[in-house]
Structure 1
Amino acid sequence: MDKFKTVVNIANKQTNLGFGVVALLTVGGEQIFSSVVFRCPCNELNFLYGMVFLLVPALALLLLGYILNKKTWKLSTGLCQHRAKLCRWRRLCATGMVFAQISTTALVAPTSWIAVALLNGNYYECAMTGTNVSAYSRHLCGDKNSLVQCQRELYSFPCMSGTSVLQADRESVLLTLRAQSQILGWLLIASIMLSNLLLTCVARCTSPISYLQLKFWRAYTHEESNMIDSYTTKHAKDLAERNLKCFFNRTPPEKIITPPNKDWEKISSLYKFNTKEQYYSTIHRYVETCQETDNGMMRMASVKSSEPADDNPAVLSFVDDGSVAL
């Protein structure tokens, strides 16, 4: 229960509620792995087995965080088709800033896993009793046994059997290892919270807009994200229905306007805020810079004005957030 309370406190302090949900789901998965799946082998595989359970799930969660982040695919889609643009250092800096924001979000789950696993102590105990560092073994066993015998005894400590060491000595060693694990866990939690606070303060201090406008922008992007999903689904359904009717009924197609590729590319790029133009998204900028032609169609007023400047600040953290289904 103490571990759950710790993670709840971490989740409550996150600026994004989604971070807290991810952290809670992560600790639930760690509890299942620790109590049901994890079984220390108590032999020479202790170190490898313990480190695999401590780090490999964290790596998997990190990769999953990148995969489920919409910014990852907005940043990478079509990247190979625009290699010439990547040579400009300003664009590289902007891309690096967006990638750093993606990494900050993706690191929530793996750091939560490692922190809770260290507070639990099972993985660390198993790994450290399997280490072959002679100085570490001598520190734990002293001069009671030879280093070789000490190492063999250490292997079996997590299993509570197969050792001739006194119960008090064994418990002393395990308590030392558990204390070290929990110290590392709390240090990791403290570093996470401190980093989160510093990043939030830097982002707010360098914000080009005021607090209330930032709040309005967050609400706008949330509504636009929800509506674009439903609108694109409806438009795709209408287009598919028209095409199928034409195919099966052998009738001429009704006129359904779909934006051209260049327009899709303009609204699919990652947004960069420009203090000279008060636009809240790529779609907002596209609509405001469109003009109506003689046949009633909309076209871009100026290609130059529709493109974001390379030296603009990178997109704020909440813009373009969300998951994507592959």
Structure 2
Amino acid sequence: MTGNQDQEQLVEQEVKKFQVVVDLYYKYRNSLGWGLMTVLTIGAESIFSNVVFKCPCNATWNTSYGMVFLLVPTLVLSILGFMMRGPNERLLDSCTKCCSSGFMDICLFCWSLTWTSLLWPLMWIAMALVEGTFTECASSGTVSTAESLCSKIFASSTKDYENCVNELPLVPCNKATVSEVQDLLKVLKAQSQVTGWILVLVIILIFLINAVVKYVCPTNTFKEEHFRYIYKQRENDIFQIQAIEHASKLAKENVQHFFNQQSENSSKMHLPNTEEWKTISSSQTSDKYYSPLHEYVEKHKNVSQTQS
């Protein structure tokens, strides 16, 4: 018996250590996830621009090749952003419910979901524009860009103009035979970098507008909003602990029943149904409640008191 008790104590200690790691993960998972994705976005863009990307320097392929490297990672990052942001903030459920109800809250929830999910794609595009590698290749292959740039240094009816239009796709590879045409690479890079810095400025302005709207529009006081923020944090922490305990008891009951189905000593436990899970998973709640779970519990208490 002593050996079994010691073994159980060792297992319990290991479970507690593991639980500490799990608690830290759930507490900082948003910050860790966003920080990791930001570093990966910056690193991936640098690797793609300097190592993977090789402009074909061909009038047929330059534009499509450059746009693929610019837009496909943007689409992938958008999907990852929605996948990571939606479950964490439960905004997808709220957008669905707002759409069905038709309230103005759909604008707030869906805007928050869309903006935060598109942050990494916008970061990728801004960095790619400032770097200029993708856009130099893509722009050099477009007819309109070639005609616009070449007409500024050569007359459109001359042979030099025709050579300029034909040799502009070779500029990203430094293969243009005419020096004036090769110098147009600086113009392409400048156009790309200016556009990139404008996009960076737009992102910063949207951040500022979000911050102003967040702290100015709420009807509650700053102290109450701060209290609500603390309450939700503590509710999540306590919910995590209680959920682990409840799940452990239910799992133990099921395992005992599986191995000893004739024993009926365990008491019946309540397991929330699908509608109850959906109710507490919503991001919408009335002003007099601090969270969907708080609202559910209070309403359930009122119904129980009315029935009694």
Instruction: Tell me if both proteins adopt one fold, taking TM over 0.5 as the criterion.
Output: yes
- Secondary structure at the aligned position of 1:291 is classed as helix
1:153 corresponds to 2:164: no
1:34 corresponds to 2:49: yes
1:290 corresponds to 2:306: no
Q: How many angstroms does 1:301 deviate by?
A: 5.8
1:62–1:196: structure 2 CA closer, same or farther, 3 Å change rule?
A: same
1:178 corresponds to 2:173: no
Tell me if the contact between 1:118 and 1:181 (Cα under 8 Å) persists in the aligned partners. yes
**The one of 178, 193, 215 aligned to 1:165:** 178
Q: How many angstroms does 1:174 deviate by?
A: 1.0
Tell me if the contact between 1:286 and 1:300 (Cα under 8 Å) persists in the aligned partners. no
Q: How many angstroms does 1:18 deviate by?
A: 7.2
How well do the aligned residues superpose, as a CA RMSD in angstroms?
Answer: 2.8
* Residue identity in the other structure for 2:40: L
Bigger helix share? 2
TM-score (norm 1): 0.72
Q: How many angstroms does 1:181 deviate by?
A: 0.8
Tell me if the contact between 2:168 and 2:181 (Cα under 8 Å) persists in the aligned partners. no
The residue that corresponds to 1:255 in the other structure is 268
Tell me if the contact between 2:74 and 2:121 (Cα under 8 Å) persists in the aligned partners. yes
In the TM superposition, 1:51-66 aligns within 5 A as 51-66=67-82
Tell me if the contact between 2:55 and 2:66 (Cα under 8 Å) persists in the aligned partners. yes
Query: Equivalents in 1 of 2:108, 2:305: separation in Å?
Result: 30
In the TM superposition, 1:275-314 aligns within 5 A as 277=288, 279-291=289-301
1:140–1:131: structure 2 CA closer, same or farther, 3 Å change rule?
A: farther
1:119 corresponds to 2:130: yes
TM-score (norm 2): 0.76
The residue that corresponds to 1:135 in the other structure is 147
Greater C-alpha Rg: 2
Unaligned runs of 5+ in 2: 1-29
Query: Equivalents in 2 of 1:45, 1:300: separation in Å?
Result: 70
Query: Equivalents in 1 of 2:295, 2:212: separation in Å?
Result: 28
Query: Equivalents in 1 of 2:159, 2:235: separation in Å?
Result: 69
The alignment-based identity, stated in percent, is 32
Aligned length: 267
Q: How many angstroms does 1:281 deviate by?
A: 0.7
Query: Equivalents in 2 of 1:205, 1:136: separation in Å?
Result: 47
In the TM superposition, 1:16-95 aligns within 5 A as 21=35, 22-43=37-58, 44-69=60-85, 70=87, 71-75=90-94, 88-90=101-103, 93-95=104-106
Unaligned runs of 5+ in 1: 1-15, 293-298, 303-326
Query: Equivalents in 1 of 2:138, 2:153: separation in Å?
Result: 17
Query: Equivalents in 2 of 1:285, 1:257: separation in Å?
Result: 19
Structure 1 stretches of at least 4 aligned residues deviating more than 6 Å after TM superposition: 16-20
Tell me if the contact between 2:167 and 2:181 (Cα under 8 Å) persists in the aligned partners. no
Q: How many angstroms does 1:195 deviate by?
A: 1.8
Write out per-residue CA displacement over residues 249-284 of structure 1, whole angstroms, 9 at most, x where no aligned residue: 22224322223444323212222342xx1x221112
The residue that corresponds to 1:267 in the other structure is 280
Tell me if the contact between 1:266 and 1:286 (Cα under 8 Å) persists in the aligned partners. yes
* Residue identity in the other structure for 1:177: L
1:104 corresponds to 2:115: yes
Q: How many angstroms does 1:110 deviate by?
A: 0.8
**The one of 209, 212, 236 aligned to 1:198:** 209
Relative CO higher for 1 or 2, CA cutoff 8 Å, sep ≥ 6? 1
Q: How many angstroms does 1:137 deviate by?
A: 4.6
1:132–1:237: structure 2 CA closer, same or farther, 3 Å change rule?
A: farther
Write out per-residue CA displacement over residues 47-82 of structure 1, whole angstroms, 9 at most, x where no aligned residue: 111112112211221121111122344237xx5xx8
Query: Equivalents in 1 of 2:216, 2:44: separation in Å?
Result: 36
Q: How many angstroms does 1:122 deviate by?
A: 0.5
Query: Equivalents in 1 of 2:305, 2:124: separation in Å?
Result: 50
Write out per-residue CA displacement over residues 85-140 of structure 1, whole angstroms, 9 at most, x where no aligned residue: 955432xx323431111011112111111111111010110111111215325346
Query: Equivalents in 2 of 1:117, 1:145: separation in Å?
Result: 34
- Secondary structure at the aligned position of 1:223 is classed as helix
